[in-house]
C-alpha cells in the first residue's frame, strides 16, 4: 500500500472544539440563545430583550415558534373552573353588592360608626332589598333571579374597580337613591 491511501486522516480535536465553541457562542448570542437561557431558568435576558429593545425586535417564524414553545412549557396553567362567569345574573349581583357597599358607607357616615351592621340586621337588609330592586330594573334579563343571600354574603368585601366604574357610570340615580335610603 502506498502512503496516501492507507493513512487515516488526523483529526485536529483542538480546532474542532474551537469551531464548536464559536458556533455555540454565535448561537447563544442571538435570539435563540435568549430563549435557551430562559428555558434553563434565566429569563432576565429575554425579558430585557423585549422591555428595553435590546437587539432587533422583528421576529422570524422560527423565533416566534421558539418563543411560543417556551411560553407553552413554562407558564403556569390555571387549573379548575374559572371563578365566575360573565353572565347577566353575575353582573347584576356584583352591581347590587356595589350599591350595598355604597349604602353601608353612607350609613356609617351618618351614624358616626366605623362598621355597618351585618347582612342579617335591619339597616343592611333594607339596603340589600332596595339594591336588588334597582339592579333588576336596570338588568331586565335577570328578573327575580337575584337572592338577598348572594348579595349580602360578599357585600363586605373590597369592591371591584370595574364594577364600581360601571355602577357610577350607568346607575347614578340608583346610587343617589341608596344613599338617601341609608341616611334615613
Q: What is the DSSP letter of 77?
A: P
Picking from 80, 135, 65, the residue whose alpha carbon sits closest to that of residue 103 is 135
pLDDT for the residue numbered 47: 73
pLDDT for the residue numbered 161: 75
pLDDT for the residue numbered 124: 85
Cell 502512503: give the residue. Answer: 3
pLDDT for the residue numbered 82: 58
Cell 431558568: give the residue. Answer: 41
Rounded CA gap, 51 and 168, in Å?
A: 36
Rounded CA gap, 182 and 83, in Å?
A: 31
pLDDT for the residue numbered 120: 72
Q: Which ranges in 80-141 belong to alpha helices (H)?
A: 88-111, 122-138
pLDDT for the residue numbered 15: 84
The pLDDT profile of the chain, 184 residues, written as one tens digit per residue, is 455 566 777 778 888 888 888 888 887 777 778 877 777 777 777 777 776 666 656 677 777 677 777 776 775 555 666 566 667 888 888 888 889 888 988 988 888 887 777 777 778 888 988 998 999 888 888 878 888 888 877 666 667 777 888 888 888 888 889 888 888 8
pLDDT for the residue numbered 43: 74
DSSP string covering 7-69, please? PPPPP-HHHHHHHHHHHHHHHHHSHHHHHHHHHTT--HHHHHHHHTT-S-----HHHHHHHHH
Q: Rounded to a whole number, what is the distance in angstroms from the first to the last CA of the chain?
A: 116
Tell me how far CA of residue 72 lies from CA of 45, 48, 64, 90, in angstroms: 18, 20, 12, 31
Amino acid at each position: 500500500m502506498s502512503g496516501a491511501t492507507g493513512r487515516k486522516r488526523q483529526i485536529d480535536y483542538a480546532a474542532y472544539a474551537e469551531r464548536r465553541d464559536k458556533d455555540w457562542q454565535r448561537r447563544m448570542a442571538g435570539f435563540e440563545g435568549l430563549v435557551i437561557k430562559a428555558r434553563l431558568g434565566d429569563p432576565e435576558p429575554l425579558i430585557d430583550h423585549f422591555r428595553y429593545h435590546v437587539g432587533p425586535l422583528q421576529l422570524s417564524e422560527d423565533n416566534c415558534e421558539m418563543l411560543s414553545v417556551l411560553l407553552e412549557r413554562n407558564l403556569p396553567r390555571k387549573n379548575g373552573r374559572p371563578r365566575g362567569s360573565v353572565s347577566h345574573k353575575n353582573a347584576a349581583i356584583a352591581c347590587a353588592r356595589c350599591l350595598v357597599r355604597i349604602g353601608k358607607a353612607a350609613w356609617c357616615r351618618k351614624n358616626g360608626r366605623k362598621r355597618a351592621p351585618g347582612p342579617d340586621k335591619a339597616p343592611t337588609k333594607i339596603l340589600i332589598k332596595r339594591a336588588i330592586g334597582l339592579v333588576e330594573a336596570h338588568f331586565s334579563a335577570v328578573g327575580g333571579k337575584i337572592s338577598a343571600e348572594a348579595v349580602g354574603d360578599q357585600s363586605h368585601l373590597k369592591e371591584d374597580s370595574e364594577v364600581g366604574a360601571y355602577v357610577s357610570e350607568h346607575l347614578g340615580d340608583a346610587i343617589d337613591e341608596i344613599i338617601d335610603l341609608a341616611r334615613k
